Structure 1
Amino acid sequence: MELFGKMGRLPAALLSLFFILASRVSPSIAGDTLTPTQPLADGQELISAGERFILGFFSPIKTNNCYIGIWYKVSPPTVVWVANRQHPISERNGSLSITVNGTLIITDQNSKTIWSSGSSGLANPVAQLLDDGNFIVKEANIPGSFAWQSSDYPSDTLLPGMKLGWNLKSGLNRNVTSWTSPSDPAPGPYTMGVDLHGNPQIILWEGSSQLWRVGPWNGKTLAGIPDILRYKIFILDFVIKNDEVFYMYNTTSTSFITRLTVNYTGFVQRLVWLDDSKMWSSYMSEPKDQCDYVSQCGAYGVCNTDDSPICSCLQGFKPRSPTNWDLREGKDGCTRRMGLDCQNGTDGFVIVKDVKLPDTSRSMVDRSMGLDECRATCLRNCSCTAYASANINGSGCIIWTTELTDIRVYSFGGQDLYVRLAAADLGPGLHHSHSRTMVGTVVGCVLGTLLFASVGICIWIQRRRRAGAITFASHRNNEYKEGKDWELPLFDLGTIIVATNNFSIENKLGKGGFGPVYKGKLGEEQEIAVKRLSKTSAQGADEFMNEVTLIAKLQHRNLVRLLGCCTQGEEKMLVYEYMPNKSLDAFLFDKDKGVLLDWQTRYNIIEGIAQGLLYLHRDSRLRIIHRDLKASNILLDKDMNPKISDFGLARIFREDETALNTRRVVGTYGYMSPEYAMYGAFSVKSDVFSFGVLVLEIISGKKNRGDFISEHEGNLLAHAWGLWKEGNGLELVDESLSNSISIAEALNSIKVGLLCVQECPKDRPTMSSVVLMLGSKNTSLPDPKHPGFFPTRTSSEIESSKSKTDSASINELSVTIVEGR
């Protein structure tokens, strides 16, 4: 059944196929149609009339299980539907047939039925694979009618013309559910479907919990994907009728090959096939940022990725838990400052513009009502908390009578929300720009001045938007000229002393270039990690302020979260969320702990780091080059999700800048790109090089710099390059992964790593391309060129370097400064 048996020394192009299709005994049966007298045997195929889709038997990689599936006729093949996803055939010689009454049946080698479509009650049935990927059962020679269709039972993919949603007469609910893993098409934990409660909306669930609210239809698009309106490739529709409620999309040209899929990692991806490069391009991937995840800022909170912190309260509301709010934990939400006064009719409304409307599952909708009538109806209902137009053009009425949750701000395509407030909260003094109201003002005072070299740094507390917020401004003109204010909670020194048990040795996690790092606890539950700047540290106020000003403005699930800082007296401390699994190097380079990192965990770490770097380089408000990406600066949360840390050496790039030079080369030997280490030239491609080194380290479990490789092999990059050229790339893989390795993903990842460490910066891919290459599992990646590795060093040199660069890596951000040569 499988295309090949034992792994052996087969070409990488074969091993890296995402799916291993069943071997073909005969290429196909009669065209696109199955009849009761002609079943489909293992090894045979149906091919749609326009040769866009194929139906046949396939086996996912790493398994002997066999399934009936439909896939696009592209290379590599892409499975879009699976019949028996919960009931695989364990051996060869399965069969798909249609009975005389129109029931599709899959039988195993013993003729035992393992899956059926149910009786269709037809007199002269046939099954046909259509050119839109739909497999239908119908009466022969009667066009336009069918008794059963595969598109009513989606797997992980929604194709153009397929319905996502409900047939209210039959109770059929068409939803899309992820695979369990790349090797198991059984239903996984992630499901996307239509929620019929209130105003119908599309939800992505993880189990029974809402993960991402795609939102209701606003007349032009779904509330959670307004950006799609900018492009003219797709035609979207959402139908709400008495007998059915469903979402559907099509393309403006039938020549487009596209799919909408929920992948096994919990992302909804809209992918388009690029025929020239023979690969799938990610047109859209959701959730794309922290504000996309359901109700990050709780009831009456507004999430805005352009703000720092990302959560604010609606006008007329205040944080329900000020302490948690100051620690940037906004899920407790907000509460009213003044109660409503419905009886005397003094309540009014404030307009909140450009938002994703709140969760509509408990709202009431009248599509015939205008906006003025909607307002009046809300005022008459003492339980009404807000109203809005059902459609973006101003027609229809949505009324909320419960708390408003999952509100976020958009820069494009949002709607107006009318929030009900008491008269006392309608004053102009509380208005925020675009009516996106923050939390209020506080009285502050100037704290002091920190000096480093000839650069003045001022830290002060001003009247700002929330209690406890501190505004920092950096005037380091030689480093960057942003001239912007930054907000960050300031912790009292006494609070930090109590939290860390007076910086006790028992609480010490480690020591790096910045200074010691301590574990602490605020209150009963909030665990923190405190970086304390050592008076003898090679770093100083410059790196301290660099980290404060940068990371305070960054919000991404793959970046470590800075909770605040302390600058009392001579103390300079940074307070971070605590990472219970410490740093990546603590696992990766430890023989005993390394076995805890199975292949799936390592691959997820690679993908997470790539997503975090892409955010820094392209998607954040600032364009940031990290400059010290390494295993000890990747922290791991309780679920082993990676978080990029240490922004003390990071640099901001203007939009018109592509590369900079510096005479002060900073970073860690083994991760620095050659052009940076030798000449001080750095760019986004410098980070890409460091990422490539990390990828190869994660796969091999070995350090790029170290004495594990013989003298003639140089370092890990030279070793990996030699194996790849010989066609023995899999020998690089950590021996502990023998029972969990995905061959296709491993070879793809090794190739991506080698592409990232190519000697010439212009040859290295951008992080957006890296993310695409990791996600595509495509065999047509360009061949890597010679990597940029350093000459072989002697054992004494290696030991000397290790003594200078290695440091404890437990929630700490070590930095090695290398003077330019």
Structure 2
Amino acid sequence: MLSSRVSPSIGGDTLTPAQPLADGQELISIGERFILGFFSPIQTNNRYIGIWYKVSPPTIVWVANRQHPISECNGSLSITANGTLIITDQNSKTIWSSGSSGPANPVAQLLDDGNFIVKEANVPGSFAWQSSDFPSDTLLPGMKLGWNLTSGLNRNLTSWTSPSDPAPGPYSLVLDLHGDPQIILWAGSNKLGRSGPWIGQRFSGNPDIMRFKLFILEFVMKNDEVFYMYNTTSTSIIARFTVNYTGVVQRLVWHDDSHMWSIYFSEPKDPCDYVSQCGAYGVCNADNSPICSCLRGFKPRSPTSWDFRDGCVRMTELDCRNGTDGFVTTKEVKLPDTSTSTVYRSMGLDECRAACLRNCSCMAYASAYANGTGCIMWTTELTDTRVYFGGQDLYVRLAAINLDKDRGVLLNWQTRYNIIEGIAQGLLYLHRDSRLRIIHRDLKASNIFLDKDMNPKISDFGLARIFKEDETALNTRRVVGTYGYMSPEYAMDGIFSATATATLGAIPFASHRNSERKEDKDWELPLFDLGTIIAATSNFSIENKLGQGGFGPVYKGKLGEEQEIAVKRLSKTSAQGADEFMNEVMLIAKLQHRNLVRLLDKDRGVLLNWQTRYNIIEGIAQGLLYLHRDSRLRIIHRDLKASNIFLDKDMNPKISDFGLARIFKEDETALNTRRVVGTYGYMSPEYAMDGIFSVKSDVFSFGVLVLEIISGRKNRGVSISEYKGNLLAHAWSLWMEGNGLELVDELISNSIFMVEAMNCIKVGLLCVQESPKDRPTMSSVVLMLGNRNTSLPDPKHPGFFPTRACSEIESSKSKMDVASINELSVTTVEGR
């Protein structure tokens, strides 16, 4: 940021030996895009020569005398007769010099791309010196980051020390030429982050950049120079690429309408962006907890010491001489550190594999480019590997015994049978024969290791639970485990037992990943200081506590004399975190609809007659329709449940708690996530089991709510001894028997309008159908509820429909004329 001490230019964009630039004067590029002159950073009177974008407020992009400020406003910039640029202070002492000798008739000119050059007067296209060869903290479009191999010039970015001091700070962005070149972010002498190697249109570690159509990236490797540069797709775009004083690398674009810089890329953005978080042969995934795991075929060197980055070691040593080694594919990763790798740019992938196998020191290989061409080989430990949506395939060398799927010849039927039998024996020991009765809770393929004799070993007991002798099942509020391996009662209701663990049928001996894409967040929100909040809530007094949710306690309060507020306070013990908390704040601030919550009201169940319940159902439907279709942001709530529907004083429903919500782009219909969030009993089957969520996930939750509101009962909460099906199964059974009205709450069963109630029950059952494509959209739901006499389609069975309910229904089929036995399907939920 600049001070306001500026004066008119000296008349153009050029400096001559006869006309120096005094403090208070400026050069302005021909297109009036850039200005060069003296400036003072914020909170200081020191004076510097700089170049800045002509925007308001001005943005500094280059500084000449970074380490040698002038203390008074009496300095000047001049060009000598031999073409050297100098800055002198009030005593005519030279404090900075370009150190170059130029042409016989030199001038200095500020170009419209922000480059300040020394050249021969009236001779275009040639220059003896340019500011872009000596960047500060900013790379402008067309500037080079990298090396002139002939002169040894290294163009790199260096942060400011602070907003008030442009002297070189501790952070620098440097193109490293070792191995396969990559850009390294340094903090002093320590590597902080890296871009990964150039793989064609981008660097391996920056897949997000391809989403932005504003930039054209280029990486040049020639005999005399190696550099990275970028341009914009339009000359009207004002952009910069910078490393700031906090060590964050950002790509920004200026918006005239808002007079602000928008961040299009920022790094480090998560813990896995920091170099080698997980050590040798470790792989980092920011969506996991803990974030570190081992590459396939490796195990933790010190299982309890991930914080010390001890990394991983091989389960089985390689046997290069006998030629039995092979490769396992690790998909969608940022390639490991390439500073010690070897690159063969004309070699194909098959040839690369053969060359790696011939070299007993070769640990892994990959394509050098995203299109599958070229070859990179690693002969040292693999470090700084991370999972990335849109990443590359990495082929890691393993001993034959650790290849299982890739060397399926070793897994003949007898071997597979022995593996299944061995796992079963291990589970029997855990469930019955061990002195501690243990439920594993995360039994999956990647937690089954095979020894040299192909005997299975159950591993990873981090999520296991010990049962007492008299316990048969437990309930949990937090789901842990892996999609595709969790039993239905656990995934939906949080009920786990020995039978919930023994899901052997779901183990394919191959793991898969689904990466959750993260949207850019916008935290431009009004803020209240802590003192104001403390005053409003009487210092979070117990008398003001309204309740408690996943984030922590909620307090009522008043701002001033009139405005009532509710304050959520994030608890240290919250199962959710700051990201989810800020996510909710952002969405509530941006969304405006009468059916989105602002304040929690007391339970007024005594007033919940049929008409009130019907209005609540309609209100929730309208709120969801707004989120899915009518809001300027398309929102999937992901945690729609009874406790997140609040009623105001007029009994109007308000949808609350947007901490787990996700914004969808216009062209997105569904997303995958690796981490389940939500509440048992309300999650759709495809989300609870496979991590796939869409608007139809919210429709499922809405259907559960409808049936709960009508019946006055929760979908889950029964103990295991009584577990004969949840509310969905009960409602479906009654519906198929022709006794749907028995579902209605006894408190209102004598006052309801029969046709209207049956219509609502049918809408609820349509919403909870197992297949997402069978469920209606919220716009259809609103029409169904609004046209009370409209004939609705018959629902199919709900998701997580227990087989017990099927058998009971089948026995009562003879009483019905509505459906035949062939029209009723029995669903057994299995890992997909």
What TM-score does the superposition give when structure 2 sets the normalisation length? Answer: 0.55
**Structure 1 residue 268 and structure 2 residue 249: aligned?**
yes
Separation (CA, whole Å) in 1 of partners of 2:348 and 2:281 = 25
CA deviation map 1:687-725 (0-9, x unaligned): 9xxxxxxxxxxxxxxxxxxxxxxxxxxxxxxxxxxxxxx
Report the Cα offset of residue 308 of structure 1: 3.0
Q: Which amino acid aligns with 1:164?
A: L
Separation (CA, whole Å) in 2 of partners of 1:257 and 1:148 = 24
What's the counterpart of residue 73 of structure 1? 54
Contact 1:164 1:193 in 2 (8 A): yes
CA deviation map 1:628-659 (0-9, x unaligned): 9xxxxxxxxxxxxxxxxxxxxxxxx9942399
Q: Which amino acid aligns with 1:407?
A: T
What's the counterpart of residue 370 of structure 2? 392
Q: Which amino acid aligns with 1:259?
A: R
What's the counterpart of residue 99 of structure 2? 118
Report the Cα offset of residue 357 of structure 1: 0.5
Q: Which amino acid aligns with 1:483?
A: A
What's the counterpart of residue 122 of structure 2? 141
Q: 1:323 to 1:105 in 2, by over 3 A?
A: same
Report the Cα offset of residue 231 of structure 1: 2.5
**Structure 1 residue 470 and structure 2 residue 463: aligned?**
yes
Matches within 5 A, 1:99-118: 99-118=80-99
Matches within 5 A, 1:307-318: 307-318=288-299
Contact 1:662 1:681 in 2 (8 A): no
Separation (CA, whole Å) in 2 of partners of 1:618 and 1:203 = 33
Separation (CA, whole Å) in 2 of partners of 1:211 and 1:484 = 42
Matches within 5 A, 1:725-744: none
Separation (CA, whole Å) in 2 of partners of 1:108 and 1:477 = 67
What's the counterpart of residue 196 of structure 1? 177
Q: 1:355 aligns with which of 312, 325, 333?
A: 333
CA deviation map 1:311-370 (0-9, x unaligned): 221111000101224xxx372111001111111111111111111100000001111211
What's the counterpart of residue 97 of structure 1? 78
Contact 2:139 2:240 in 1 (8 A): yes
What's the counterpart of residue 224 of structure 1? 205
Contact 1:661 1:680 in 2 (8 A): no
Q: 1:463 to 1:260 in 2, by over 3 A?
A: same
Compare CA radii of gyration and give the structure with the larger one.
2
**Structure 1 residue 130 and structure 2 residue 138: aligned?**
no
Which runs of no fewer than 5 residues in structure 1 stay unpaired?
A: 1-17, 432-439, 448-457, 487-536, 548-558, 563-573, 577-608, 620-624, 629-652, 667-673, 688-821
Structure with more relative contact order (C-alpha pairs < 8 Å, separation 6 or more): 1
Separation (CA, whole Å) in 1 of partners of 2:493 and 2:133 = 53
**Structure 1 residue 253 and structure 2 residue 231: aligned?**
no
**Structure 1 residue 33 and structure 2 residue 7: aligned?**
no
Report the Cα offset of residue 627 of structure 1: 12
Separation (CA, whole Å) in 2 of partners of 1:575 and 1:275 = 41
Q: 1:379 to 1:561 in 2, by over 3 A?
A: farther
Please state whether the residue corresponding to 1:265 is helix, strand or coil.
coil
Q: 1:302 to 1:330 in 2, by over 3 A?
A: farther
Contact 2:279 2:310 in 1 (8 A): yes
Report the Cα offset of residue 395 of structure 1: 1.5
Contact 2:251 2:266 in 1 (8 A): yes
Q: Which amino acid aligns with 1:469?
A: G
Report the Cα offset of residue 230 of structure 1: 2.3
What's the counterpart of residue 224 of structure 2? 243
Please state whether the residue corresponding to 2:305 is helix, strand or coil.
helix
Q: 2:302 aligns with which of 313, 321, 339?
A: 321
Q: 1:462 to 1:32 in 2, by over 3 A?
A: closer
Report the Cα offset of residue 23 of structure 1: 3.2
Structure 1 range deviating more: 298-307 or 187-196: 298-307
Report the Cα offset of residue 268 of structure 1: 0.7
Separation (CA, whole Å) in 2 of partners of 1:158 and 1:416 = 31
What's the counterpart of residue 677 of structure 2? none
Contact 1:96 1:107 in 2 (8 A): yes
Q: 2:316 aligns with which of 317, 322, 338?
A: 338
Q: 2:2 aligns with which of 9, 14, 19?
A: 19
Separation (CA, whole Å) in 2 of partners of 1:482 and 1:408 = 30
Separation (CA, whole Å) in 2 of partners of 1:477 and 1:369 = 50
**Structure 1 residue 295 and structure 2 residue 276: aligned?**
yes
Q: 1:344 to 1:460 in 2, by over 3 A?
A: closer
What's the counterpart of residue 389 of structure 2? 411
What TM-score does the superposition give when structure 1 sets the normalisation length? Answer: 0.56
Separation (CA, whole Å) in 2 of partners of 1:30 and 1:546 = 61
Q: 1:656 aligns with which of 636, 653, 657?
A: 636
Report the Cα offset of residue 616 of structure 1: 7.3
Separation (CA, whole Å) in 1 of partners of 2:598 and 2:378 = 48
Separation (CA, whole Å) in 1 of partners of 2:132 and 2:114 = 8
Separation (CA, whole Å) in 2 of partners of 1:392 and 1:408 = 16
Q: Which amino acid aligns with 2:86?
A: I
Q: 2:399 aligns with which of 375, 397, 422?
A: 422
Q: 1:482 to 1:199 in 2, by over 3 A?
A: farther
Separation (CA, whole Å) in 1 of partners of 2:181 and 2:343 = 10
- Number of positions where the alignment pairs a residue of Structure 1 with one of Structure 2: 506
Q: Which amino acid aligns with 1:30?
A: G
Contact 1:236 1:249 in 2 (8 A): yes
Contact 2:363 2:380 in 1 (8 A): yes
Separation (CA, whole Å) in 1 of partners of 2:342 and 2:4 = 49
Separation (CA, whole Å) in 2 of partners of 1:110 and 1:611 = 55
Contact 1:84 1:115 in 2 (8 A): yes
What's the counterpart of residue 140 of structure 2? 159
Q: 1:367 to 1:616 in 2, by over 3 A?
A: farther
Please state whether the residue corresponding to 1:261 is helix, strand or coil.
strand
CA deviation map 1:556-604 (0-9, x unaligned): xxx9999xxxxxxxxxxx799xxxxxxxxxxxxxxxxxxxxxxxxxxxx
Q: 1:183 aligns with which of 164, 175, 178?
A: 164
Separation (CA, whole Å) in 2 of partners of 1:615 and 1:169 = 51
Q: 1:681 to 1:370 in 2, by over 3 A?
A: closer
What's the counterpart of residue 47 of structure 1? 28
Please state whether the residue corresponding to 2:491 is helix, strand or coil.
coil
Please state whether the residue corresponding to 1:483 is helix, strand or coil.
helix
Q: Which amino acid aligns with 2:145?
A: L
Separation (CA, whole Å) in 1 of partners of 2:359 and 2:570 = 45
Contact 1:32 1:49 in 2 (8 A): yes
Q: 1:334 to 1:252 in 2, by over 3 A?
A: same
CA deviation map 1:30-84 (0-9, x unaligned): 2000000000000000000000000000001110100000000000000010001
Q: Which amino acid aligns with 1:383?
A: S
Q: 1:37 to 1:347 in 2, by over 3 A?
A: same
Report the Cα offset of residue 612 of structure 1: 8.0
Contact 1:311 1:330 in 2 (8 A): no
Separation (CA, whole Å) in 2 of partners of 1:168 and 1:663 = 65
Contact 2:320 2:360 in 1 (8 A): yes
Separation (CA, whole Å) in 2 of partners of 1:226 and 1:70 = 31
Q: 1:658 to 1:363 in 2, by over 3 A?
A: closer
Q: Identity over the aligned pairs, expressed in percent?
A: 66
Report the Cα offset of residue 122 of structure 1: 1.7
What's the counterpart of residue 761 of structure 2? none
Report the Cα offset of residue 307 of structure 1: 2.9
Q: 2:491 aligns with which of 467, 480, 483?
A: 483
CA deviation map 1:111-138 (0-9, x unaligned): 1100000132420000000000000000
Separation (CA, whole Å) in 2 of partners of 1:477 and 1:353 = 29
Separation (CA, whole Å) in 1 of partners of 2:431 and 2:656 = 36
Please state whether the residue corresponding to 1:379 is helix, strand or coil.
helix
Contact 2:352 2:375 in 1 (8 A): yes
Q: 1:685 to 1:239 in 2, by over 3 A?
A: same
